[in-house]
Amino acid sequence: MNIAVIGVGLIGGSLAISLKENGFADKIIGVGRTEKSMDKALALGLIDEKTDLNTAVDQSDLVILAVPMSAYDKLLPEILDQVNDKQVVIEVGSTKAAFLKKIATHKNRHRFVATHPMAGTEYSGPEAAIDGLFDEKCCVLCDTEESDADAVALVERMYKSLNMKLVYLNSEAHDTHAAYVSHISHISSFALALTVLEKEKEEDRIFELASGGFASTVRLAKSSPAMWAPIFMENRYNVLDVLYEMIFQLKKMKQMLIDHDEDGFYELIEKANEIKKIIK
C-alpha cells in the first residue's frame, strides 16, 4: 500500500515510520511545506520519497493529512477534489466539528475518515518522530456513519496495526472531551510557563530550582504554537467552557489562601485526589 503523508512532523512522521516498520505501508510518500523539512524526513528514513501534493495524492491508496489545523481549509478540499472511490483520506487533528461541517457536502466526503490518535510529545518537526508513539494509546474515529464502510475498515486496520484502542464519537462529543482532557492541559502549561517567566527574571534560578514536578507540569509549554494556536481557536467554545471552570477553581484556592483556610484547602486537595479513580 502506498501512503501519502502530508506534513511529516511529530504525528505524521511517527505514523510514517511505524506503518513502514510494521509492514502496513509498502511506500511512504512525503509532502511538506519546506524542502528543508522534507530533506530531513528523507535523511531520517521517515519517508521513501518526497514530491508535491497532487503527485502524492495521485500515487497513493491512503492519504494522511497531518498539518496544523489552520491549513485544513485549503488542503483538505484540494485533496478530496482529487481522490477516487478507491482511495481513502484521513486527518489526525485535535478538533473535528467545525471543519467537518465545511466539507459535509463535498462530493468525496464519503472517502474521508476523521481520526484523532491521542498521542504525542511536546516536540515538533521530522526529528520528533518516534517509532511506537501510538502503542497502546487511544484513537478516536468521528462521524464514521458519514464515511464508506470500506474506508472506515481500512482506517481501523491501520490503527489496529499500531496497537491502538479505537473509540467512536460524534464530532461534537469529541471536541468537548478533547477540551477537558487535552486542550486545557496545554493552556494550563502555557499559563504556568508565562507566569514563571514573568515572575522569575533570573533564568538560572529556574534551571537550578526546577524539580521533577515543575518540569512535568510545564512540559507541554514547549509545544508548537503553529499547532496549538489554531486548535484553541477552532475549539474555542469548548475551551472557554473548561477555562471558566478552571478559573473558578483557581479563585476558590486564592480566596482560601487570603482567608488562611487550611482546612478548606485540605478538603479541596482531597477532592482533587479523586482523579486517581480515573487516571491510575
In this predicted model, what pLDDT tens digit does every residue of 168-216 receive, in sequence order?
999 999 999 999 989 999 999 999 999 888 877 666 666 666 666 777 7
Rg (CA), the chain: 21
Residue 88 DSSP class? E
- DSSP letter at 165 equals E
Report strand pairing: 62-65 vs 49-50.
unpaired
Predicted TM-score of the model (pTM): 0.88
Domains of the chain: 2-170 (3.40.50.720), 174-277 (1.10.3660.10)
Query: What's the Cα-to-Cα distance from 137 to each of 77, 117, 120, 159, 175, rounded to whole Å?
Result: 29, 8, 10, 10, 18
Question: Is 83 strand, coil or helix?
Answer: coil
pLDDT in tens, 11-68: 999 999 999 999 999 999 999 999 999 999 999 999 999 999 999 999 999 999 999 9
